[in-house]
Copies of this chain bind each other. A is one copy, B any other.
Amino acid sequence: MADRTGTLGPGTFGPGTLGIVAGSGGLPRRLIENCRAAGRPVFVLALEGEADPAMLAEVPHAWCRIGAAATGIDLLHANGVGGLVLAGGVKRPSIASIRPDWRAAKFFARIGLRALGDDGLLSAVIKELEHEGFTVIDAGRLLDNGAVMPEGPLGTLGPDPVARADIEHGLRIARAIGALDIGQSVVVQQGMVLGVEAIEGTDALLRRCGALRREGPGGVLVKIEKPGQERRADRPVIGPQTVAVAAEAGLRGIAAEAGAVLVLDRDAVARAADAAAIFVVGVRAP
């Protein structure tokens, strides 16, 4: 994939190496590939239980568990990281499983444990990393322009009036769900909310909605950015995998918020949509 914006060259976000804190999903791999193609030196801090080991083969990297903040920060400094991007999903850990080291414990003591369930946690993490001297960057700025969902269909199909009504209803519901910091996605079929995403993730939501679907015109996945979302963490993403799972679940299409949702490999998404005969459309949230 070409770097159409030229933002990936060395030095664009301060001197030194770009650090990638890598969670689950396809976004970290895409960032690594783009940086390497652009000749940008990169260091990956791979989160245990989240990051895909396969993408790390030829990249400077270290593994770190989520609670080991001191180790993680030391590793980033030791590898000359200046700009830092948080990419991919992280299952919010429980209080018991996080086993904070002294650095993480200090952090939690300051922000309070109650924040664990909130978007506020991510903002606090970012503030903390900036106090440590890192420049935390929105992953969207490290991808080419095509990585942000445009308005309109990606493949050849678009929504018919029934699907458009489902999208409209889904946007309203997703907006409310997002404002409550519950999740980013909903599935609507013929005006009925088949499922609402909480912490299970979009793929799990799609799979269970497959079993709940009604006869007649299939449902629509609506995925948006939470109102007030911290863009430098937890950006909503769709990719070819999302299209495949949605099609398997009997959905007729995917509506993603234009200008907000990231698309991993737009061409592959369009091809997957056409192959499965479903639509993938970028829509403006109301």
Contacts and interface: CB of A to CB of B under 8 A. Distances in A.
A36 B192 CA distance: 37
A157 B202 CA distance: 36
A192 B117 contact: yes
A180 B176 contact: yes
A192 B97 contact: no
Nearest to A182: B193
A116 B191 contact: yes
A62 interface: no
A214 B194 CA distance: 25
A194 B199 contact: yes
Contact of A212 (B95, B169, B180, B199): B199
Given A116-B191, A117-B191, A200 B176 contact: no
Interface string A177-219: 1001111000001111111101110000000100010111000
Nearest to A200: B212
A227 to B, nearest CB: 13
A152 B177 CA distance: 29
Contacts of A189: 94
A96 B214 contact: yes
Name the residue in A93, A190, A198, A200 with the highest tally of chain B Cβ atoms < 10 Å from its Cβ: A198
Contact of A200 (B180, B208, B215): B208
A182 to B, nearest CB: 5
Given A94-B216, A96-B215, A180-B176, A116 B190 contact: yes
Interface in A198-254: 198-200, 208, 212, 214-216
Given A117-B192, A173-B180, A180-B173, A95 B199 contact: no
Interface string A254-268: 000000000000000
Contacts of A180: 172-173, 176, 193
Nearest to A97: B215
B176 A196 contact: no
Given A180-B173, A180-B176, A182-B173, A95 B198 contact: no
A92 interface: yes
A97 B216 contact: yes
A93 B212 contact: no
Contacts of A4: none
Interface in A96-120: 96-97, 114, 116-118
B198 A195 contact: yes
5 contacts: A95-B190, A95-B216, A96-B214, A193-B199, A195-B198
Interface of A: 92-97, 114, 116-118, 165, 169, 172-173, 176-177, 180-183, 189-196, 198-200, 208, 212, 214-216
